[in-house]
Structure 1
Amino acid sequence: MSILSDDSAVMTKARELCAAIAEDAQFQALQKKVETFLEDDSARMMYQGVHERGSELHQKQHAGVELGESEIKEFESARDALMQNDVARSFMDAQGELEALQKTIGQYVGMTLELGRVPTADDIAQASGGGCCGGGGEGGGCCS
C-alpha cells in the first residue's frame, strides 16, 4: 500500500487534521470574516484599488523611478481609508492568521519529512530564525 493511498494511515490523519481545522470555532470565525469581505463590494473595491496602486508604486520604485510626494500621499490616504473600513481590516487580519496557520502547518509537515521525526519546539524556532544567524543550518556558524 502506498503512503498516498486513500486508506493509508498518513492520509487518514491528514483528513483528520483537515476536519479538525474546519471544525475549529476560531477557524470558522476567520472564514466568516473572509466571506463578509467577499460579499462587500465597497470593501473589495477599496482593497483592490489600494493593492493595485501599491503594486504600481512598487514597480516604479523597482525600476528606479522616484515617486512623487503627491502619489505617495495619495496612496497613504487610500491605505488609511482602507484601514478605517472594519470589513476590510477584519479581512486582512483574518487573511494574515490563515496564512500563518498554513505556513505553520506546512513547516511542521516539511520539517517532519526532512528530519524523519516530529520537529521539536527548538527545531521550529531555529528554522524560523530564532536560532543563531537565522537558524535553518544555513549560516555556517554563529554571528559575532
Structure 2
Amino acid sequence: MSLIADDSTIMAKTKDLCSSIVEESEFKTLQESVEKFLGNDEARLQYQSVHERGEELNHKQRSGVELSEADISAFEEAREELLKNEVVTNFMEAQRELQTLQMAIGKYVGLTLELGRVPDEEDFVAANGGCCGGGGGGGCGC
C-alpha cells in the first residue's frame, strides 16, 4: 500500500491534523477575516491598487529609474489610507498567521522526512543556523 493512499495511516493522521486546524477557534477567526476581506469589493480594490502601485515602483527602481518624490509620496499616502482600513489590516494579519502556520507545519514535516524521526527543539535550532525560529519579530525566540 502507498504511504499516501486514502486509507493509509499517514493520510488518516493528516486528515486528523487538518480537522484539528479547522476546529481551532483562532483558525476560524482568521478565516472570517479572510472571508470578510474577500466579500468587500472596496477593500479588495484598495488593497489591489496599492499593491500594484508598489510593484510598479519596485519595477521602476530595479530598472534603474529614479523614483520621484511625488511617486513615493503618493504611494505612501495610499498605503497609509489602506492601513486605516480594518478589513484590510485584519486580512493582512490573517494571511501572515496562516502562512506562518503553513510554514511551521511544513518545516516540522520536512525535518521528519529528512531526519527519519520526529524532530526535537535542537533539530530546529540546527536547521535555522542556531536559532529555533519560534519568536518572530526578527529575534531568535528560543
TM-score, normalisation: structure 1: 0.87
Equivalent residue letter for 1:83: L
Residues 51-88 of structure 1 show CA distances to partners (whole Å, capped at 9, x for unaligned) of 10111111111111111111001000011000000000
Residue of structure 2 equivalent to 1:109: 109
Residue of structure 1 equivalent to 2:121: 121
**Aligned equivalents of 1:120 and 1:94: distance in 2?**
28
Matches within 5 A, 1:46-125: 46-125=46-125
> C-alpha displacement at 1:129, in angstroms?
4.2
**Aligned equivalents of 1:39 and 1:5: distance in 2?**
36
Greater share of helix residues, 1 or 2?
A: 1
Aligned residues: 131
Secondary structure (helix, strand or coil) at the match of 2:108 reads helix
Secondary structure (helix, strand or coil) at the match of 2:128 reads helix
Equivalent residue letter for 1:5: A
Residue of structure 1 equivalent to 2:21: 21
Residue of structure 1 equivalent to 2:8: 8
Identity %: 53
**Aligned equivalents of 2:128 and 2:47: distance in 1?**
30
Residues 99-124 of structure 1 show CA distances to partners (whole Å, capped at 9, x for unaligned) of 00001101111111111111112222
RMSD over aligned Cα, in angstroms?
A: 1.0
Equivalent residue letter for 1:35: E
**Aligned equivalents of 1:27 and 1:59: distance in 2?**
35
Ranges in structure 2 where 5+ consecutive residues have no aligned partner: 132-142
